Amino acid sequence: MKINIYYGGRGLPGDPTLVAVKIMMTVFEELNVKVEKFDLFEQKNSITTLPRTLKDADGVVLASTVEWHGVGGMMMSFLDACWLYGDKEKISRLYMAPVVMSTTYGEKEAELDLMNAWQSLGGTVCPGISGYMPEVSELENNETYKKLIEKAAENIYRSVNQHTTALPVSVMAVRKATYKTRNTTLTQQETEQLSEYASDEHYVAKQKEDIKELTDLFKGKMKSHKQVNEDNLPALFRAAFKPDAGVNVKYKINIRGKDKAFILRIDGKDLEAVYGDLVYADIEMSLEKQVMMDIVEGRLSFQRGFMAGNIVAKGDFGKIRQLDQLFEFRPQA
C-alpha cells in the first residue's frame, strides 16, 4: 500500500501541521505502508504536473495550515491542477483524508472545504483530523494529542486498506446533474503532457512572446489597411487601373483631413495618380478617409457611396460611375 501526503503549508518552523504529518508518517511506516510526502511550496513551479503522482497511490492525505483564512494558495493550486490535468478515473478510486491545523481560526471550515473539493473531483473521503494549535509546543508536549493523531492515522490506514464503503453524498449528485466537463479531444496522456508545458516557465514565456508578436503583426496589418495615407493610395489606384483607350478625364478627390487633394488624370492607357492641386476637373468629390478606405478595400463603390450621401460631388455626375469602371478594387482577404 502507498499513501501520498501533499503538504500545502509554507514549511515554516513551528507549523503544527508538519508535526501532525510527521506523527502520521511514523504510524504508516510501522504499518508497512509506503509513504511519500510532497511539499507543495517547494514544487510551486511544477505543481501542474503533480497530479500524475497520484497514479501509484492507494490513499491521499491533504495537509494544510490555516494561518488566516482557508487552506492556502498552494493547496488550491494543486486541487486546480487535479481538476484540469488529473486522471479522474484514478481519482475516483482514491481515498483522501484531510489534516488541517489552525493557528488562528477556521480549521473545521478548511477541513470541510478539502472534503468537498475531493468529492467534487470524484474521489472518496475518509475521516481525517483537525485542530486549533496556536503554539506548536502544545502539540509536541501533549501525549493525548499525539495519540489522537496516531489513532487518526490508523483509521486512515483501515479505510484505505479495507476499501471502506461510504454513503452517497449530495455534492456528487449535484456534480453529475450540473457540472459539465469541458469538451476536449485530448487523451489523458495528452492532458498530462499539457500540464508539463503549463509548468515550463520558458515554454510559457515563449508562447506569450509568440502571441504578442502575432498580435502586433495583425495589428500592424489592420492599421495598414485602415490608414489611407499619401504613400499607399496612389499605388493602390495604379494597381487597380483598367485602361480604356477612349477615356480622357480628370478627377479631384478631397479626403477630409488631408492638406492636398488626390488627383487622377486619365488619358487612354495613361494614368497619373498624385497628391496636389487641380484648377479644372471634370468632377470634384469630397469624402471621409474611412469611405476611401472602404472603396480601396472593395467594400464600397464610388457610385454607391455617392448615392448613400457619403460622397459629395460637383461636376459631371456621370463620371462617378465611370470611375468604378476604370478602377477595380477587390475585397481584402
**Average confidence score pLDDT of the chain:** 87
Q: Give the distance from CA 37 to its chain's centroid.
A: 30
Residue 231 has pLDDT above 80, yes or no: no
Mean predicted confidence (pLDDT) in 265-270: 93
What are the tens digits of pLDDT across the range 121-149?
A: 999 999 999 999 999 999 999 999 999 99
Residues paired with residue 255 on neighbouring β-strands, in sequence order: 287
User: Residues 6 or more apart from 164 whose CB is under 8 A from it?
Assistant: 95, 126, 158
pTM exceeds 0.75: no
User: Residues 6 or more apart from 206 whose CB is under 8 A from it?
Assistant: none
Mean predicted confidence (pLDDT) in 64-76: 93
Contact between 7 and 18 (Cβ < 8 Å):
yes
Residue 183 has pLDDT above 50, yes or no: no
Residue 205 has pLDDT above 80, yes or no: no
Note the residue count of the chain. Answer: 333
**Percent of the chain's residues with pLDDT above 90:** 69
pLDDT at 262: 93
User: What is the distance between the alpha carbons of residues 249 and 315, in angstroms, rounded to a whole number?
Assistant: 12
**pLDDT range class, residue 153, cuts 50, 70, 90:** very high
Sheet hosting strand 311-315, strand order edge to edge: 270-276, 261-267, 248-255, 283-287, 311-315
User: What is the distance between the alpha carbons of residues 93 and 59, in angstroms, rounded to a whole number?
Assistant: 9
Residue 226 has pLDDT above 50, yes or no: no
Mean predicted confidence (pLDDT) in 259-283: 92
Q: Give the distance from CA 66 to its chain's centroid.
A: 29
SS3 for 77-107 is HHHHHHHHHCCHHHHCCCEEEEEEEECCCCH
Q: Which of 161-165, 283-287, 314-318 has the highest mean pLDDT?
A: 283-287
**pLDDT range class, residue 300, cuts 50, 70, 90:** very high
For each of the domains in the chain, give its residue range(s) and CATH number, in order of start: 2-182 (3.40.50.360), 233-326 (3.30.1050.10)
Mean predicted confidence (pLDDT) in 8-13: 93
pLDDT at 305: 93
**pLDDT range class, residue 279, cuts 50, 70, 90:** confident
